Each structure stands twice: as structure tokens, then as C-alpha cells.
Amino acid sequence: MKKPHIILLHLGYWAMYVFLLMIVLAAGKLPVYRMLFHTPTGIAAITPAIIGFYSTYNLLFDRFLAKRKILHFLFYTLIVTLTSPIITEIIIYSVFDNVDESFNTIFFAGLFLTFITVINAIIALVLKGFVSWYNDIQLKLELNKKNYDMELALVKNQINPHFLFNTINNIDVLIQKDPIKASDYLNKLSDIMRFMLYETKADKIALSTELTYIEKYIELQKIRSSNPSYVNYSIEGISNDLMIEPMLFIPFIENAFKHTENKNLENAINIKITINKEMIIFECENKFTINSQKNSEHNGLGNGLIEKRLLLLYPNKHQLNITTHNNIYKVKLTLNNVH
């Protein structure tokens, strides 16, 4: 909810509160203006209301209730409830002379002030809860829209046209030289396309399925180079029944192949995936030339979009570190608490 709307909501509440006080005083045939501004009644009616309302709205809700610290919330609410009447009575006795100081008067006045504090604290709780609920709905709508936009961009970038064309051309050349090998590569390409058309529609897929896709993608990329040490790919650990969102790692791998133009380099691309019970660690590094890095900045899936997708899918459960040093581009993505 926008700040001006919240301010109007508060102004409306206090206008209604003062209006109700005026009705109560008028119903008791009391001089409204004098009782509110020239007697202890005004301070007694408004001061604990402000203390109870804003201590709950601005402090207690955000610091404790929103974080589900119920006992802390109840404890500090009790403190506010007890101190509010004391503060109000101190103000009254400081401002006005000839105030009745008998025990009964102070005691019953304290109960009245406590009642006003509690009522306004409850109303503040309801109002703050409504504002938080409304903000959560707006945030979810915004995140869903961003998620949709990102998923749409991901679908458009799932298969790089150059990769597809190059792979088909390479397989075409292999058909006459080595039909068996060409058939094997064609089956891998078919599996990749099937994966992207069907598997990626699910919210989550088996990690083993994602790893199989990555392996086939790398094998197809290797067709373009006769250098056996061009790419190093390794997996440590067992995927077991781990589930992840599809296409988490492949954008980084695709970018690595795009930016590594020299296919004759030794260990040009190194990809390692480490799996354990607590986390999945994805590491990818590639050697690149400065010109290729600049020319490829707007191709494929940008890092900004990838980071936003990770924030949506793994809030507070991932670390993404990207560094560039000595023409080596490194990506390290850690996913925590993956089950």
C-alpha cells in the first residue's frame, strides 16, 4: 500500500476516534470543546490511545508478531499496557492543578486508561495486519508477473538457434563419415528437445534428469571441437531423490560455450557439480577473449534475469558468485536446504 494511502487511513481513523469522543461527551450533556481541550479528559482519552496504537503499529507488530515471536510480543504488549496509564497520569498531574489525588480516583482512572490503551492496540493490530496482508498480495502479484516474464524469457532462450543449427549441420556431416556416431548424436539432440518441450513445464524435476540433460548438451557441443580437453565435466556425490527447478544451471553453461571462441584451448571450460545432503554446488569457469565477452553480452539469458529467478525460487537459500579475472569467467552457485 502506498504511503499517502496509509496516511489517509490513519487520519481517517483518528478523525473517527475524536468524532466518537465528541458523541459520547454530547450524549452525557457535557461541554464537548471544554472537556477535550481544557480538562484532563482530553489527555486521558487521547494520550493512551496514541501510545497503545503506535507502539503496536510501528514497533511490536514488525519486530515481534510479524517474526512470530509471540511470547516477546505479549511481554512487550503487557509493558506498554502497564506504562501507558502511568505516563498519561504523570502528564495530567503535571499540566493541571487541583486534580483529585485520592487512591480510588487514581486506581479507576488507571483502569480506564488501560482500557483505552488496549482497545487502540487491538485496532492498530487489525489495521497493521490489513496493510501487511494487502502488501503481501500486491507483492505476490508482482512476483508472479515477474516470474511469468522470466519463465517466458527462459522458454525463448532454452534452445540457442546457433547451437541447434550448428549441431544439425555437424550431424549432417557425420552421417557419411560415421553413421553410428551421427545417429547417437541425433538421439541426444532429440532427447534434449524432448526435455525442453516437456520436462521444463513442471515446477520441479529430478536433479538426475537435469544432470542427464547437461551431459547430453555438453556432448553435442563437443562435436564442434576435435580437442578432447576442451571441456571438463564432473559430478561429485549422488543425486538420489533431490528435486530442483528445471534449467537452473544450463544458462551458465550455454554462456560459457558462447564466450569461449577458441576451441583448441586446453581446459577451456570446466564444469563441476558437487552434491551432498545439505547443498548443491555448481561451478563453471571458462576462458574468453575480451571482444567475445562484449559481443555476447546481449545474447542468451542475462545474469540479471537469472539472479531474479533465483531470488524467486530460492529466497535466502542460495549464493551466487560471479567473478572475472585474467580472462577467466567463474560462476559459483550454491543451493542450500535442497530436498
Reduced 3-state DSSP string for 300-338 = CCCHHHHHHHHHHHCCCCEEEEEEEECCEEEEEEEEECC
Q: What is the pLDDT of residue 5?
A: 85
Q: What is the pLDDT of residue 118?
A: 93
Cα–Cα distance list, 59 to 63, 122, 209 (Å): 6, 14, 48
User: Which stretches of the chain are assigned E, i.e. beta strand?
Assistant: 205-206, 231-236, 243-244, 269-275, 279-287, 318-325, 328-336
Please determine, for residue 105, whether its predicted confidence score (pLDDT) is greater than 70.
no
Q: Which of 36-50, 238-252, 255-269, 296-310 has the lowest mean pLDDT?
A: 296-310
Enumerate the β-bridge partners of residue 328.
Answer: 287, 325
CA distance 47 to 30: 20
Q: Which of 3-12, 33-42, 252-261, 301-310 has the lowest mean pLDDT?
A: 33-42
Q: Calculate the dihedral angle through the C-alpha atoms of 159, 163, 166, 169, rounding to the nearest 10 degrees.
A: -30
Q: What is the pLDDT of residue 294?
A: 46
pLDDT tens digit sequence for 183-201:
988 898 888 888 877 777 7
Q: What is the pLDDT of residue 255?
A: 86
Please determine, for residue 301, whether its predicted confidence score (pLDDT) is greater than 60.
no
Please determine, for residue 235, whether its predicted confidence score (pLDDT) is greater than 50.
yes
Q: What is the pLDDT of residue 234?
A: 94
Classify domain 201-336 at the CATH superfamily level: Histidine kinase-like ATPase, C-terminal domain (3.30.565.10)
pTM of the model: 0.54
Provide mean pLDDT across the span 267-272: 92
Going by pLDDT thresholds of 50, 70 and 90, the confidence category of residue 177 is confident
State the chain's mean pLDDT as an integer. 82
Q: What is the pLDDT of residue 150?
A: 63
Q: What is the pLDDT of residue 295?
A: 42
% helix / strand / coil in the chain, to the nearest 5? 65, 15, 20
Domain residue spans of the chain: 3-150, 201-336
Enumerate the β-bridge partners of residue 26.
Answer: none
